[in-house]
Structure 1
Amino acid sequence: MANPKTEARKPPLSRTPLYELCLEQQARMTAFSGWEMPVQFAGISQEHQAVRQQAGMFDISHMGKFRFQGEGAIAQLQALFPSDLSRLQPGEAQYTVLLNSQGGILDDLIVYYQGTSDTGVDRGVMIVNAATRVRDKVWILPHLDPQRVKFEDLSKTQALLAVQGPEAVTLLQSLVDADLSGVKAFGHLEAAVAGQPAFLARTGYTGEDGFEVMLEPEAGKALWRSLLAAGVTPCGLGARDTLRLEAAMALYGQDIDETTTPLEAGLGWVVHLADKGDFTGRSALERQKQQGMQRRLVCLQMAGRNIARHNYPVLSEGGEPIGIVTSGTLSLSLGYPIAMAYVPTEYAQVGKQLQVEIRGKHYPATVVKRPFYKRPSL
């Protein structure tokens, strides 16, 4: 039985501006990172297939949303990230990570660079994970000169929707006063959506094309209703998880955390050691690169219908415990179970035969190339 005193100390769950609209669509709600969020509407399989085949929309207003503006802001942020932000041109973005001094990942996020004025004022947006928003802000602020850079936390004052799928851009275009066809992947712009100002980015967490749209709460509600009327399927966290895992995108807190480095996690492409100066965690990553990784995050294809879940043991072909599953599910697009896991480097080669322990029994697994699913070329 729950302790009433403990229950009383729990802060109430936050609700997004789209909460009531989700309930109208019969959403099943769940607690997630301090928010009451839809886990599914019509069903995970139906929502998953809608995103793969037509278009789905997600309420992701729980995500952390920061805006920065000020003289030399990008240069000041450089010390925080292993990625070289000076490469960014206006309208471009960088997926990257915040690191601790040991090279462990404090969060993964996207930095959107909006440009620099003639007076040297940089403008940009960061979208971070809901669970780490407060910690991220505490980590970032000391690196910014408050006299020169204005930093705003818009997390609870803006709605954020993700519209994803092969038909997503076409359906969204009818509501936007700017041409979206020329916006490249990880490109972004400010435009009017149904007559209201919005920030639109061609990014997402599903492996499909689409946009993430940040705008005022009432405008967000209007956009949700318009997309619903256009036939876009409402989707919850359940489908978001199966979609992102097929695309081999990491989930913070499961696949990556403070105990994992970007090099171990297959995110070496965000580490630009040769192109930039010092940053938090640099010496640890240099050391790891010199000495070689002891483990790597790999993609596994399970045999039969055996689903490997989070924290299930990974074994060598001979039955020796060697690693741990971080994420696993039945791939609804491919028709077989998939998983990601950390294993010693010598077991990380594509084609390597391993096993996963599921309820006391050992089942075959094969290391495969990432991602599991890649959307068809246009």
Structure 2
Amino acid sequence: MNVYFWRRYVTHTDLKKTPLCAACEAAGGKMVDFHGWLLPVQFEGILAEHKAVREAAGMFDVSHMGQIFIEGKDAWAFLQHINCNNIKNEPGAGTYSHILTEKGTIIDDAISFCITPEKFLTVVNAACADEDYAWFQKQAEPFDVTVRNESAAWAMIAVQGPKAVETVNNLIPGVQELARFHIREIELLGAKGYVTRTGYTGEDGVEIMLPNDKIAALWDELLKLGVKPCGLGARDVLRLEAGYLLNGADADQTRTPYEANCGWVVKLAKENFVGKDALAAQKAQGLKEKLTAFVLKGPGVPRAGCKVYAGAEEKGVLTSGTYSPLFKGIAVGYVTADVAAGSEVEIEIHGRKVRAEAVKTPFYKNRV
């Protein structure tokens, strides 16, 4: 599978490394520059890793993700203010949401977990973790909260697939009882940490957060249990099949949740939150463009930047695209709002227009 869209293979040392970098290299990982981090794009191969996650269990080094802790009597009220979704404040519960600018555009999509009513953990995307933290600090001024960026102290492995949870249960007894989108404090390998049950692949799975010096031992234990190492290439195919956004490509500070086809995370009925007025106005006015999914009807691999046409009229441009072992060429992009599911379009790939159909996401939907 062509992986040209990842940055060049690298051997230099000017990139940030996760605590699992050496373990990934020892497992045969082909390392690339991903937003300034040295991460594996693949191990055995994208197709094999895709198959492992769809049929059994695969693991990903996601230690580059950020962890921001919010504590204090106003912790929940603060998160309600900076998120457009309603944040759950029951201990253990997590909520996916978008963090917005005053204009209603997306700074990040993140998951906030309630550890206690006065202590929350927000897991943010790596590329904007520092920006998120600065925004949190700025917005926290009127609230009785303490915001701590502990991203450098934590490492994380995501284990995904239909056999992922039962496999991890060998290391963390009782994890099978953890509800989806929930968190639990754990003690593992002599250290305190957290386990969550979310995922970015469309399959069931868990994420295990441990201090940096313990994560390599966890990697080794998972290898012994037969969990296959997987890289960024398979992760991108899996997440696109499942209809998840890639922050910085499908969602950024030029787009709102409504435009990103995530209107379900916007709760205009709740008390004021950052960006609420702008979103209310956009909803009233209607959308000009919207993130839309496409399946190719001919050969080709769609990529970000490919233009979308209806006849001679250019309708928009792709933000993500790939070859899927399940669906062949799939993609999403921002096109004019009149391009609805079922519409016939053409996608220009290397100067050649390929027929495609607009479809609803997700492309792939499992039972989770």
Which bracket does the TM-score occupy, shorter chain normalised?
over 0.9
Is 1:21 the counterpart of 2:23? The answer is yes
1:254-265 equivalences under 5 Å are 254-265=249-260
Q: Distance in 2 between matches of 1:372 and 1:207?
A: 10
Contact (CA 8 Å) 1:77, 1:143: kept in 2 or not? no
Partner of 2:281: 287
Alignment counterpart, residue 369 of structure 1, candidates 351, 360, 367 = 360
Look up the match of 1:95: 96
3-state SS of 2:16 partner: coil
Deviation beyond 3 Å, 4+ runs, structure 1: 145-148
* 1:158 aligns to 2:154 (yes or no): yes
- Seen in structure 2, the aligned counterparts of structure 1 residues 147 and 259 have a Cα distance that, compared at 3 Å, is closer
Supply the distance in 2 between the matched residues of 1:11 and 1:273 (Cα, whole angstroms).
47
Q: 2 CA distance for matches of 1:35 and 1:308?
A: 25
**Paired position in structure 2 for 1:313:** 307
**Paired residues of 1:15 and 1:36 also in contact (CA < 8 A):** yes
Distance 1:146 1:11 in 2: 42
Give 1:146 shift: 9.4
CA distance in 2, matches of 1:94, 1:147: 21
The residue type paired with residue 329 of structure 2 is P
CA distance in 2: counterparts of 1:277 and 1:356, whole angstroms:
42
CA contact (8 A) 1:319 1:355 kept: no
Per-residue deviation, residues 282-338 of structure 1 (Å, max 9, x unmatched): 11100110011111111101012222110100001x221110011111112x14110
Q: Secondary structure at the match of 1:156?
A: helix
Residue number in structure 2 paired with 1:114: 115
Tell me, yes or no, if structure 1 residue 331 matches structure 2 residue 324: yes
- 1:66 CA displacement: 1.1
Residue 75 of structure 1 aligns to a residue whose secondary structure is helix
The separation in 2 between residues aligned to 1:176 and 1:193, in whole angstroms, is: 7
In the alignment, what sits opposite 1:344? Answer: 336
Aligned length: 357
Describe the SS at the equivalent of 2:226: coil
TM-score by length of 1: 0.91
Take 1:134 and 1:11, find their aligned partners in 2: how far apart are those partners? Answer: 21
Distance 1:105 1:11 in 2: 32
**Structure 2 Cα separation of the partners of residues 187 and 65 of structure 1:** 16
Determine the structure 1 residue equivalent to 2:350.
359
CA drift at 1:36: 0.8
The answer to whether the Cα contact below 8 Å between 2:136 and 2:147 also exists between their aligned partners in 1 is no
**Superposition RMSD in Å:** 1.7
Query: Aligned in 2, Cα 1:26/1:193: closer, same or farther, shift over 3 Å?
Result: same
Q: Counterpart of 2:133 in 1: which secondary structure? A: helix
Letter in 1 for 2:97: T
Consecutive unaligned residues of structure 2, counting only runs of 5 or more, are: 1-11
Q: Secondary structure at the match of 2:31?
A: strand
1:46-77 deviations in whole A, cap 9, x for unaligned? 11110011100000001111112211111122
Q: Does 1:273 align with 2:265?
A: no
- The residue number in structure 2 matching 1:234 is 229
Q: How far apart, CA to CA, are the structure 1 residues paired with 2:222 and 2:176?
A: 18
User: Contact 1:67/1:152 (CA < 8 Å) preserved in 2?
Assistant: yes
Contact persistence 2:106–2:254 (CA under 8 A): yes
**Can you give the 5+ residue segments of structure 1 that lack an aligned partner in the other structure?**
1-9, 117-121
Alignment partner, residue 140 of structure 2: 144
Q: How far, CA to CA, are the matches of 2:143 and 2:248 in structure 1? A: 34
Alignment equivalent of 1:128, drawn from 124, 128, 137: 124
Q: Is the 8 A contact 2:55 2:162 kept in 1?
A: yes
In 2, are the aligned partners of 1:176 and 1:194 still within 8 Å (CA)? Answer: no
Cα distance in 1, alignment partners of residues 360 and 273 from structure 2: 31
Distance in 2, matches of 1:26 and 1:226, equals: 17
State whether residues 76 and 89 of structure 2, in contact with CA within 8 Å, keep that contact through their aligned partners in structure 1.
no
- Provide the TM-score with structure 2 as the length reference: 0.93
Matched, 1:202 2:202: no
Match of 1:174 among 159, 163, 170: 170
Q: Does structure 2 retain, via aligned residues, the 8 Å contact 1:97–1:106?
A: yes
Q: Using the alignment, how far apart are the partners of 1:79 and 1:147 within structure 2?
A: 10
Task: Return the alpha-carbon distance in structure 2 between the equivalents of residues 27 and 181 of structure 1.
Answer: 29
SS in structure 1 opposite 2:129?
helix
**Aligned in 2, Cα 1:270/1:33: closer, same or farther, shift over 3 Å?**
same
SS in 2 for 1:231: coil
The alpha carbon displacement at 1:26 in A equals 1.2
Residue identity matched to 2:264: W
Deviations 1:194-238 (A, max 9, x none): 443220110111111000111112221111000001110001111
Amino acid across the alignment from 1:331: S
TM-superposed CA distance for 1:183, in Å, is 1.6
